[in-house]
Chains A and B, each alone.
Chain A
């Protein structure tokens, strides 16, 4: 469980997160929606301790991000998939997936490799184990990115606009993998612009705008019984 209490975040004078309080339950898929610049990515990067918060607190499975000694443990439990993949270009797909499990979880080479091969099978890339990132398409790279995050067996998977940098015809192969993970009960927090996709897989929806959490409710209520006109307009606009 991840709990945010009155989280604020400043970049100098700019306030990117304003008094955000919310809770992510285990086994739930939460989609964070909202226009660009709303602070969605910053929010999940704060959970992953890639950014420090200015005030308030984020508690991940009982450990606070403000506690410097807890950061390594929190990062083990929260794995991120990045918009621009950020794969290690000098390592092949398998080595990309195996690096953190080997050196953070201290798995043996054989164990880490078995895990990596299994994940590559799951995402349908079993014939591209030894390919380097530059030899893979965007969709394939992002599937490796998902494998790399899953190889840590994190309690929470964080996805930061994972299809935004991929050619449209290849997004479906990535979304299919995420959908499958959702159906298996993986806890996920995803920042996305794919509103139809969010509708399909999310249990809860958070809507953010200019650093504020506008609404945080069940997906059914958000999409089917939306009373806020502005949000309705946003949903309509994003459908195209």
Chain B
């Protein structure tokens, strides 16, 4: 008996790869956007030291920061249907989990940035009767956000790589397409360099962008340190 299998890459595979890239970018960008917004809000809640809420945020952050994303994905994808009325598909589970995961890391970045604003800034504002909210909005956040941008850019780059794990729960992302092509061609040194190169190029573009933004901010942040 003879098994017929196409062991070459064809033009159709380019479209397969592009489709995978599309899923990777979709899950990555929505979870980054959602995670940053959620993390920002949680960081503010924690900084305000609201009893119970602040502690809950800390517990949340510690859990999601110190466990593997893959385990989190399994828990959401296989576990959630058992204990709740939700049974997410692979893509939904992936976006949900990566959003929460990104939020946990964003809280860490944002809390550090808020703490980095000198106490004298709070004192100066309080001295003239500005409230906590006013000081936060007009004095502290504009400074803290600038401090938090570089670590957030780094997080975005590392989450892009990490997102390859979502292929395991069945999202048809770039890595999943790689698995399909490898199983068909059985040529690891043809398929994986191509897939790896695509991740590399996107990550490189992001890091060049990050460096450029960082350089622009640093000019201003140095002023801050001099003045504060």
A interface, CB within 8 angstroms of B: 48-50, 72-73, 75-76, 78-80, 82, 84-90, 99-100, 103-104, 132-135, 141, 148-149, 152
Residues of B near A152 (CB, < 8 A) are: 128-129
CB-CB under 8 A from B138, the residues of chain A are 99, 103
Q: Which chain A residue has the least Cβ–Cβ distance from B141? A: A90
B127 touches A89 (CB 8 A): no
| A residues less than 8 Å from B130 (CB atoms) | 99-100, 103-104
Q: Is B38 among interface residues, defined by CB-CB distance under 8 A?
A: no
Does chain A have a CB within 8 A of B123? Answer: yes
B-side binding surface: helix, strand, loop or mixed?
Answer: helix
> What are 8 inter-chain pairs, A to B, with CB distance below 8 A?
A50-B127, A75-B127, A76-B128, A90-B142, A104-B129, A134-B226, A148-B124, A149-B128
Determine the chain A residues whose CB is within 8 A of the CB of B146 once the complex forms: 90
CB–CB B223/A132 < 8 A: yes
B204 at the interface (CB under 8 A from A): no
Residues of B within 8 A of A80 (CB): 123-124, 127-128
Docked Cα-Cα span, A141 to B139, in Å, equals: 17
Give the residues in chain B near A133, CB-CB below 8 Å. 223, 226-227
A132 CB to nearest B CB, Å: 6
Knowing A86-B120, A103-B134, say if A50 contacts B227 (CB, 8 Å). Answer: no
Q: Would you call B121 and A86 a contact (CB within 8 A)?
A: yes
- Would you call A134 and B129 a contact (CB within 8 A)? no
Q: Which residues of B contact A49 (CB under 8 A)?
A: 126
Q: How far apart sit A88 and B122, CA to CA, in the bound complex (Å)? A: 10
Contact between A84 and B120, CB atoms less than 8 A apart: yes
Nearest residue, chain B, Cβ from A96: B124
Cβ-neighbour of B143 out of A48, A86, A89, A135 (below 8 A): A89
A136, closest chain B residue (CB) = B227
Please give, as numbers and ranges, the residues of chain A lying within 8 Å of B121 by CB-CB distance.
86, 88
Given A50-B123, A99-B139, A89 and B134 touching (CB < 8 A)?
no
Q: Are A104 and B127 in contact (CB under 8 A)?
A: no
Contact of B128 among A85, A87, A104 (CB under 8 A): A104
Chain B 205-228 interface residues, beta-carbon cutoff 8 Å to A: 220, 222-224, 226-228
- Distance in angstroms from B128 CB to nearest chain A CB is 4
- Within 113-169 of B, Cβ neighbours of A (below 8 Å) are at 118, 120-121, 123-131, 134, 138-139, 142-143, 146
Nearest chain-B residue to A73 (Cβ)? B129
Q: A99-B139, A100-B130 are in contact. List 7 more A-B contacts (CB 8 A).
A: A80-B124, A82-B124, A104-B128, A104-B130, A134-B224, A148-B124, A152-B128
CB nearest to B139 among chain A residues: A88
CB-CB nearest in chain B for A90: B142
The CA-CA distance from A49 to B223 in the complex, in Å, is: 29
Q: Min CB distance, A136 to chain B, in Å?
A: 8
B131 partner residues in chain A, CB cutoff 8 A = 72
B224 contact from A48, A90, A104, Cβ within 8 A = A90
Name the B residues within 8 Å of A86 (CB-CB): 118, 120-121, 123-124, 228
**A99-B138, A103-B138, A141-B227 are contacts. A90–B129 as well, Cβ < 8 Å?**
no
Residue in B closest to A151 when the chains form the complex, CB atoms: B128
